[in-house]
Structures are given as structure tokens and as C-alpha cells.
Amino acid sequence: MGWIWGVAVVVAALALALAARTLLAGRRARGGNVMSMKKQRGKTTRCSHCGRKTDKVAFYADPGGKVVGLCRECKTKAAKNGFLPI
């Protein structure tokens, strides 16, 4: 009867290892749309409204809920159009 407990412990350990591996793989796959800011240092970004390249953009949510990055000139238009700062 002692060997049954041994088999049960081994099966439980394998199930736990498989579950942990699956959970970690899922977390890595979900982070695909998140960008590291270290990769963006020194690069220019386009304004979502006018399309000009700029070093800094401010992020806003438009009335439809879409996130946009606006340059300094377009920030004044954002308040008039109902954009909310993030």
C-alpha cells in the first residue's frame, strides 16, 4: 500500500509542474501588445492626429475609447474634441 502513495505523489508533482508551465506560457503570450519603454528611448513617434514625427507624445482617449498619442500642437485640439487625458 505504500507504493500507491508514492505513485500518487509522483503523479501530483507532474500535474503541478505541467500546470505551472502552462500558466507561465500563457502569461508570456498575453503580453504581446505591451511595449518595453527601454526599446523606445531615443526614437521618434508619430502623432496619431497629424502624423508628424515628434520626440514626445501625450496619450489621450478619444470619445470612442481608442487611445491616441498627440503631439504638442494637437493637444489643444484634444480638449475641444472631448479627448480625455490618460
**Residues 23 and 51 occupy one common structural domain:** no
pLDDT at 28: 59
**Residues 29 and 71 occupy one common structural domain:** no
Cell reading at 56: 514626445
**Residues 57 and 44 occupy one common structural domain:** yes
Note the pTM of the prediction, 2 decimals.
0.51
Average pLDDT rounded to a whole number, residues 12-32: 74
Block residue for cell numbers 498619442: 69
**Which residues constitute the domain of residue 22?**
1-34
Instruction: Indicate the SS3 state at residue 23.
Output: helix
Nearest to 60, CA basis, from 24, 32, 40, 86: 86
35-28-20 Cα angle (round to 5):
155
11-17-18 Cα angle (round to 5):
90
pLDDT at 1: 65
Nearest 5°: phi and psi at 43? -100, 155
